[in-house]
Amino acid sequence: MMMIDRMMNLMLNKFRIFYLFLLVTIIGCESPTTQSPLYLPQGFEATVFVDNITETVRHMAVDKNGDLYAKFKRPSEAGVMAAIRDLNNDGVADSLVKFGEYHLPQRGNYSTAARIYKGHLYFSSQLTVYRIKVDEENLVPIGAAEIIVHDDHAHGSHEHIGKPIAFDEEGHIFVPFGAPNNACQLPKRTPLVPGQDPCPLLVDHGGIWRFDAEKIGQTQKDGEFYASGLRSIVALDWNTSDQSLYAVVHGRDDLHRLWPNHFSQWESALLPSEEFVKIEKGDHFGWPYCFYDQMQGKKVLAPEYGGDGTIIGRCADYKDPVIGFPGHWAPNDLVFYTGDAFPYHYKNGAFIAFHGSTNRAPYPQSSYFIGFIPFENGKPSGPYEVFADGFAGVDPIVNTRDAEFRPMGIAFAPDGSMYIGETEKGRIWKVQFKGDRETFGKKELAQMEERKKMTHIRTPDIVKDRIEPEDLAIGQKIYNQYCMACHQSNGMGASGRFPPLNGTDWVTGDKERLVHLILNGMEGAIEVNGEIYDGVMPQHSFLNDDQVADVLTYIRTHFDNKAGSISAEEVENYRKSNNK
């Protein structure tokens, strides 16, 4: 408690608010009724509410007076979030104020939560959940932020440690502690290496803890262990219609790269499922021992624990999801709709923001849309629907950076209208229903069902949709096997996660450093070409000297790089000098 007290004193002394009042210019939006290039069910209209927020947007929340609070993906000197107000109620933002700071070290750029609870704005960095009191008279919260929950673990990895939140109706806040590993391997993400059994991470990671929503200065030991076997959660919400906690879970990666003897590239693109789960106290969902296969409709044993894609084994003992979505869709926000402005079809249903895959190569990247799950009597009453699409602007999506927008945050205003935020350009849309609520039905939903035929949503054809030819030079074959899923086929990487390979001294500079990087891997935030990246580069010491030379020569002579080749003899010498 002395540490928490010291942090609180430091917080109270340091807290400041950066005021940056400005008239927001809405690019390409001449009036509040101008349509944005989104596909929505007939009767819905989307306008650009605010555009070009430099820090870009993750989760959002709306106060009871209609003020919108948007959490930044990349905090800046101006603040960690924005307060946005529509002064004249024309559906377009008039003032935007950036404010706040983190009082404890922020790891990476995946700060997430933004929720309003009992007159306070709750928000989080990757390690800490804060709250600050909101005031209807003031756009920007006044006073000092308080620390509600702090993750005080000595994390060696930044994987999956974001802190989305949800509140029940009995005064609790739910906080995930994600598992900083892909499948509990040691070393991480190494081909044909079994997982640790039992997985030691499950003691204090890979699950959800329940805390007092208003108690200051809590750490994990102050919470109640609520559920386990959940690798990575970026979004969860409390469903008031059945009084239950729900979450969307990111499945593990690298089935083909790690276990090519069991899984093809096509299977690795589609599996494992991203799970929509109903969570009750004491549940275990099976990570890392199992994963859900939505095509077979069952949980199967992970290859790290003896599975081959069909064996069930111990997985019969773990809880199945409510729905299994295709792999790597990245469900990054979940909000149940309780308003009355939308047609009754949407009442009490779940909206999910699918941020989009990054690691489906050599098949097209997938999702990049807002989905919807209809509910009736506290249970899903049908398959998922496409509610809003067109964010990416291209189809097929070959590389992640080809997508113009990537939807991330969902929030609902008191009048029932919807806000959608995204992470690439910092745009927020406002979605309203302008049609006839009484006649809305099957016809309108059938029109959106057609969107499922698009390449970025449908199941790819194993032959026709393959983008990369199979007859490749040896260096590119190794790249496609071990590197392309993260760094993309064009070497441009994925914003915030995996750095680009073109025009960076990490690739074209010191050969010995580059060889050591591929042998040892790297964890932690680095800056490349002016952007911070916080993914994990797994070690590839299992590649022999010829393979390392081939793949590094490939990346040093492609992607507009004009550096020299690396020989197997050089790799051999550098391997001998390797210091981890």
Question: CATH no. for residue 553?
Answer: 1.10.760.10
Do 132 and 220 share a domain, yes or no?
yes
**Residues 164, 257 within the same domain:** yes
The encoded tokens of residue 354 equal: 């699918």
Are 416 and 498 within one domain? Answer: no
In a domain, 459, yes or no: no
**Are 500 and 441 members of one domain?**
no
Give the number of domains in the chain.
Answer: 2
Q: Taking the CB of residue 524, how many other CB atoms lie within 10 A of it?
A: 15
In a shared domain, residues 73 and 198: yes
Q: Can you count the helices (H) and strands (E) in the chain? A: 10, 33
Are residues 169 and 31 located together in one domain of the fold?
A: yes
Cα–Cα separations (whole angstroms), residue 13 to 6, 7, 67, 103, 268: 11, 10, 27, 10, 50
pLDDT at 449: 97
User: Do 13 and 160 lie in a common domain?
Assistant: yes
Instruction: Answer yes or no: is 175 within a domain.
Output: yes
Q: Say yes or no: 406 and 518 in one domain.
A: no
How many other C-beta atoms are found inside a 10 Å radius of the C-beta of residue 170? Answer: 8
Q: What is the mean pLDDT of each run of 10 residues along the chain (580 residues)?
A: 43 36 32 61 96 95 96 92 93 94 75 94 95 92 93 81 95 96 94 97 97 98 98 97 97 95 96 98 98 98 98 98 98 97 97 96 95 94 97 95 96 97 97 96 95 97 82 80 86 86 90 90 83 84 87 89 88 82
> DSSP string spanning 1-54?
-HHHHHHHHHHHHH--------BPP-TT-SSTTPPPS-B--TTEEEEEEE---T
DSSP states of 414-432: TTS-EEEEESSS--EEEEE
Given the structure tokens 């101006």, which residue do they identify? 78
State whether residue 555 is helix, strand or coil. helix
How far is residue 4's CA from residue 150's CA, in Å, rounded to a whole number? Answer: 9
**pLDDT at position 226, please?**
98
What is the predicted pLDDT for the residue at 424? 95
Let me know whether 425 and 353 are in one domain: yes
Regarding whether 504 and 445 lie in a shared domain, the answer is: no
Query: Are residues 306 and 322 in contact, defined by beta-carbon separation less than 8 angstroms?
Result: no
Residues linked to residue 232 through DSSP beta bridges, in sequence order:
250
Query: End of a domain among 419, 453, 487?
Result: 453
pTM: 0.86
- Paired with 476 in beta bridges are none
Domain of residue 482: give its range.
474-576
- Whether 524 and 411 map to the same domain: the answer is no
**Which segments of 436-567 does DSSP mark as H helices, in order?**
442-449, 474-482, 484-487, 505-508, 511-520, 545-557
